[in-house]
């Protein structure tokens, strides 16, 4: 839904119009907010407007259940019966009232009213106005972390104060314990740091020259955390000398190691593929992507990489289904970074927690098992398969590995601690080589425990 924000009768700022449009599309189309915020549709926003739109969109999605609870207690109509446009305008306005103390209440309220009018819900304008004015009068501005004390933790109060579905909090409590669950949920409600991977020695000086303030990564030597500056506007980023990539994702790519032939089964959007090519510029790499459009985008990413920074010219991109790989060759290294629930990325993709249902995990597991079976058939004798997800759920991780090993006894598990030690010796890993990065024989990064997304990885070697 596009708005003519130059029409004085509407008095809707570009940032709020964009936020409203994105939140509706997330709700109706199952889109991801992070992708929509960087889509061509909203590329005309100024830096200031884009920053405000991002703050509103991600804030509403992170705190949605708490916003709905307040709206339900004040509205004369049930939240479930409100039209999506009306509920979205209420959430958008209330988030500004509670979390953005620089925004005048009148602006948050009046523009929310205008949004529903312009969305052809004029009859609901009085309801939006009344609800938001009543909530504004309560003057209950929230702190950034309205969290329970460590001594009063329970699944119920984590759910109530840190805006996560109860079923998800309860299952994490059973797997990881209540204190770790609290740290995961608290991290999910924070704004994650922007992390980049340096691709060559010229990147950092160029970034410094462009007034990008960087800090060392917490795990990998080639990672940097952006403290200040518009990284996407920098010369180094434009030249492809650095890429935005979470450290856990970088670590999984580093686990692939070296080999003459490498297969990336589920390659798009391409961050790991590019990292693999940078680590091993002499390898023959095949990158598979299910969707032809995403395969074309991946090709563009790789073609944009400067030859001085990468061996990405030797990556062959093909479209195909990883469950029935259209390849007969065998590879020394195979990466199966499979589609998953994404529960390790809720700080970046908060909409996932409101969409995901317990029954979805069985469907995801079925697809993951089909992919790992197919990938195992493409591993050469003595070669390795790296299986990874950005999920915290056992069904998508340990259970898939147990099933795969039960079906094919020619594979055995390689301790991820061994690979961590290798990376330490080679100078790629700067974090002390501690057990905190592993859970049993597997890699396990935890949001809130590590300053990165939650990733799982297993290394299987073919005898």
* Catalytic (active-site) positions: 390
Task: Give which of 248, 317, 247 is closest to 455, Cα–Cα.
Answer: 248
**Judging by beta carbons within 10 Å of its beta carbon (0-12, 13-18, 19+), is residue 317 exposed, middle or buried?**
buried
**Do 275 and 198 contact (CB within 8 A), yes or no?**
no
Task: Give which of 4, 28, 137, 11 is closest to 85, Cα–Cα.
Answer: 28
Cα 442–Cα 347–Cα 172 angle in degrees, nearest 5: 50
Token output for 345: 């990325």
**Do 68 and 91 contact (CB within 8 A), yes or no?**
yes
Q: Can you tell me the distance from the alpha carbon of 90 to that of 250, in angstroms, rounded to the nearest whole number?
A: 39
Q: What is the DSSP letter of 382?
A: E
**Do 398 and 442 contact (CB within 8 A), yes or no?**
yes
**Do 97 and 104 contact (CB within 8 A), yes or no?**
no
Q: Write out the DSSP string of 29-93.
A: H---HHHHHTSGGGTTS-HHHHHHHHHHHHHHHHTHHHHHHHHHHH-SS-GGGS-HHHHHHHHHH
Q: Is 195 helix (H, G, I), strand (E, B) or coil?
A: strand
Which of left, alpha, beta for 443 (phi over 0: left; psi -120 to 50: alpha)? beta
Dihedral sign (CA 73, 171, 168, 152)? positive
**Judging by beta carbons within 10 Å of its beta carbon (0-12, 13-18, 19+), is residue 259 exposed, middle or buried?**
buried
What b/e sequence results for 292-304 when a residue is b if at least 16 CB atoms lie within 10 Å of its CB, and e otherwise? eebbebbbebbee
Q: Can you tell me the distance from the alpha carbon of 294 to that of 291, in angstroms, rounded to the nearest whole number?
A: 5
The strand pairing partners of 439, in sequence order, are 442
- Supply the angle between the helices 84-99 and 64-74 in degrees, to the nearest 10: 100
Lookup result for tokens 């996407």: 232
């Amino acid at each position: 839904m596009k708005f003519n924000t130059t029409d004085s009768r509407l008095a809707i700022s570009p940032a709020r119009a964009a936020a409203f449009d994105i939140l509706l599309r997330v709700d109706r189309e199952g889109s991801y907010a992070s992708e929509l915020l960087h889509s061509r549709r909203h590329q005309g926003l100024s830096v200031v407007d884009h920053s405000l739109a991002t703050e509103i969109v991600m804030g509403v999605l992170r705190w949605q259940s708490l916003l709905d609870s307040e709206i339900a207690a004040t509205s004369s109509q049930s939240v479930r019966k409100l039209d999506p446009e009306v509920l979205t305008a209420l959430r958008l306005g209330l988030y500004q009232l509670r979390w953005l103390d620089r925004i005048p209440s009148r602006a948050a309220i009046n523009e929310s009213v205008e949004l529903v009018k312009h969305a052809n819900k004029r009859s609901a304008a009085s309801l939006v106005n009344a609800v938001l004015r009543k909530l504004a009068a309560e003057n209950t501005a929230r702190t950034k972390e309205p969290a329970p004390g460590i001594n009063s933790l329970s699944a119920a109060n984590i759910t109530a104060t840190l805006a996560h579905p109860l079923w998800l909090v309860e299952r994490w409590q059973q797997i990881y314990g209540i204190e770790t669950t609290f740290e995961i949920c608290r991290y999910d409600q924070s704004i994650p740091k922007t992390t980049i991977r340096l691709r060559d020695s010229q990147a950092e000086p160029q970034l410094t020259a462009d007034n990008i303030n960087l800090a060392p990564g917490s795990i990998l030597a080639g990672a940097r955390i952006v403290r200040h500056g518009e990284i996407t506007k920098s010369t180094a980023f434009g030249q492809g000398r650095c890429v935005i990539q979470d450290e856990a994702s970088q670590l999984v790519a580093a686990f692939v190691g070296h080999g003459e032939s490498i297969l990336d089964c589920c390659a798009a959007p391409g961050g790991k593929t590019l990292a693999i090519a940078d680590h091993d510029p002499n390898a023959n790499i095949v990158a598979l992507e299910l969707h032809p459009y995403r395969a074309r985008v991946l090709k563009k990413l790789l073609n944009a990489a400067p030859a001085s920074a990468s061996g990405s010219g030797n990556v062959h991109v093909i479209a195909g289904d990883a469950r029935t790989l259209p390849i007969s060759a065998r590879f020394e290294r195979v990466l199966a970074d499979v589609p998953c629930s994404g529960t390790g990325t809720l700080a970046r993709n908060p909409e996932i927690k409101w969409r995901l249902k317990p029954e979805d995990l069985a469907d995801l597991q079925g697809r993951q098992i089909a992919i790992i079976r197919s990938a195992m058939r493409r591993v050469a004798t003595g070669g390795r398969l790296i299986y990874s997800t950005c999920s915290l759920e056992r069904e998508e991780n340990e259970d898939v590995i147990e099933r795969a090993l039960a079906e094919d006894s020619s594979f055995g598990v390689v301790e991820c601690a061994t690979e961590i030690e290798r990376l330490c010796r080679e100078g790629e890993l700067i974090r002390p080589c501690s057990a905190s990065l592993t859970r049993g024989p597997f890699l396990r990064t935890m949001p809130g425990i590590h300053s990165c997304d939650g990733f799982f990885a297993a290394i299987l070697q073919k005898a």
